[in-house]
A and B are shown apart, each in its own frame.
Chain A
């Protein structure tokens, strides 16, 4: 294990997470290595434990059993504030602060970290450009003055602002219309190729999973039932993976789909 823990950004070892109100654990004995620089997609239905897995990484939750190691250190040993500031976090409806301008939202972590004002301002402009928002016209707007896609771009910019080595994304594009989602997926994949961050990406959309992920972890009822490359996923015998593949063939089986280019995106990756 120690042989490859150097290239493991995050390590789950026998991790179980439960709450007293539920008899069955939300996460059941999870073992998982997240490699440095990969984009691992956690795919599964609602309640399968994928978001819980994500929250265990930046210590929004602590495990009932087992350990999660981030950068060689158990999350229980990390100062939670330090851990979170070195981990980018993007959530479904962006979670932007409505009373902050775009600029202040993006500047949040650098400012918490006490960067000099000039450097913060530069960084904000850089990040906004990176996510395709013209800094001059967007910096001083408020979140409610943006479209859903623009808000999500700001969310990504905010997560990247302090240049964290690890990025956590919880259904980041889930609330967007299909066209916007598609273009953001493409941009995200391009960005990932350029930045080479370690990313954990949660989704229930199999097309999205196959398109953005370098590996796909399929979860069901608190367990990781398959962990493979997108190509491997397309060939796997695992019954849930097969069920997901069925929805791809039907094309309209998933209420969230209806956008064919993601299938071709997955195909593109398999080439």
Chain B
């Protein structure tokens, strides 16, 4: 937790420092160039309204500032933090008493002298209030940065949400909240000292104290910027070795393996990583990337391989209508990935992560249910609970109900996917749509009904990788090939359960499995 908190703090410090370094001079410039003020403030305002995950997603494909990892996160955080800094700089400077400014000019101060000796000192508490807001915003938004592999406390929050583990969510959320409060309090303290120094005053030592306070703020700001710069440089150096969009990576650069942000993906990512390592290749793990970031990152050359599902590729990435024949889906995906993205698709790993219609094991045995068709006559007495995903997808509930002519008692309840498992086991609902490889299926004694009308499109697991990167390293191709057909649905369920149910580390679970399979 300490490591992630430090990571989080670093993200916040670096991005706030950058926002200050950019925002204050920009704000000052706006007070000097009236024509720029409106458009720049409007732009900064618009940037702040872009949802954070969307902004991260938009940045991924951009060269230099984009990609996955801390650098992109910092860019996004800076964009968010800019508005309060710029706006408060402008407001603070414009709020300086007109007569004071006029006197300063009339006394023969140069513009620079007016700025440094009059405007900035008098605006300092307002500017600092902007920095304070920016910092608190950054602490919050930085939790989302975990979705693009930038680490930080969001890692816990996302993991906790995925595993429906409140302790984990709190482990991320509480330190983040404490950090936000602490930052707010500390900067607030500095701010009020500045304001007090000006409003109230003992008769002696004030001149020194005042100079001292202004100096203190300035040097603190400089210090933060310098530290931020050094650390950011380190981060940049660190990520440069893996971040190259043209494929001209040095031969000894590590293979960067990505994964999406759910347990099975992490297990599979670990699997790819370990079979590569077993062949003496260096590997860098970039797991738990949200949404379709994996694909974008792969295309942009930020990662070299990640696990994917044929149905997802077909519908979500290639934007085709769902197909039901696994062979046809796989072949089409393979062909189009090659033509459109110059990416290669491995042989199917052997299992599919399809929608699974699940009932309690008791019911299945008592009523002798094997297929979905077997369940149709009983369904009118059953209550159904479905995840949002299943309710809304084109290959989800509506088509399913039509294909089987199935009706339930009342409208199906829409609930969180992981909650629906527990609701089924507890008898609050009688039928749900889960994922066929979910470890909870075995753990909660649930039975999957066979999709006998083959309504659900296949989601065969496979590995997508960069052709050019792997072509030069035969051992790496071999490693990927060795995984073809190696995992059955039952085995994947078990591995998932080891991680989700028994809370074991994916790394250990995968290592054991590889040893038992004699693959390393």
Contacts and interface: CB of A to CB of B under 8 A. Distances in A.
Interface string A99-124: 11101100011001000000000000
Contacts of B477: none
Contact of A144 (B110, B117, B118, B199): B199
Contacts of A96: 100, 103
A142 B107 contact: no
A141 interface: yes
A227 to B, nearest CB: 25
B105 A84 contact: yes
Interface in B83-121: 97, 99-100, 102-110, 113, 117-118, 121
Interface in A65-100: 80-85, 87, 89, 91-100
Given A92-B99, A103-B207, A140-B206, A98 B105 contact: no
Nearest to B194: A99
Contacts of A252: none
A60 B121 contact: no
Contacts of B110: 81
Contacts of A50: none
B122 interface: yes
Q: Which of A83, A100, A104, A109 has the most CB of B within 10 A?
A: A100
B250 to A, nearest CB: 56
B99 A93 contact: yes
A45 B394 CA distance: 77
Contacts of B99: 91-95
Contacts of A141: 201, 203
Contact of A89 (B97, B100, B107): B107
- Interface size, A (range): 20 to 34
Contact of B108 (A85, A94, A100, A101): A85
Nearest to A137: B203
Interface in B117-136: 117-118, 121-122
A81 B207 CA distance: 26
B422 interface: no
A145 to B, nearest CB: 6
B213 to A, nearest CB: 9
Contacts of A98: 97, 100, 122, 198
Contacts of A104: 207
Nearest to A58: B106
Nearest to B111: A81
Contact of B107 (A101, A103, A109, A145): A109
Nearest to B121: A99
A125 to B, nearest CB: 15
Contacts of A109: 107-108
Contacts of B413: none
A98 B107 CA distance: 15
B210 interface: yes
Interface in B192-227: 197-199, 201, 203-204, 206-207, 210, 214
A158 interface: yes
A99 B110 CA distance: 18
A141 B200 CA distance: 10
B116 to A, nearest CB: 12
A77 B201 CA distance: 44
B118 A97 contact: yes
17 contacts: A81-B110, A84-B108, A89-B107, A91-B99, A91-B106, A95-B103, A96-B100, A97-B104, A97-B122, A99-B198, A101-B210, A140-B203, A141-B201, A141-B203, A142-B198, A145-B203, A168-B106
Closest 9 CB pairs of A and B: A95-B103, A85-B108, A84-B108, A89-B106, A95-B99, A101-B207, A142-B201, A81-B108, A99-B121
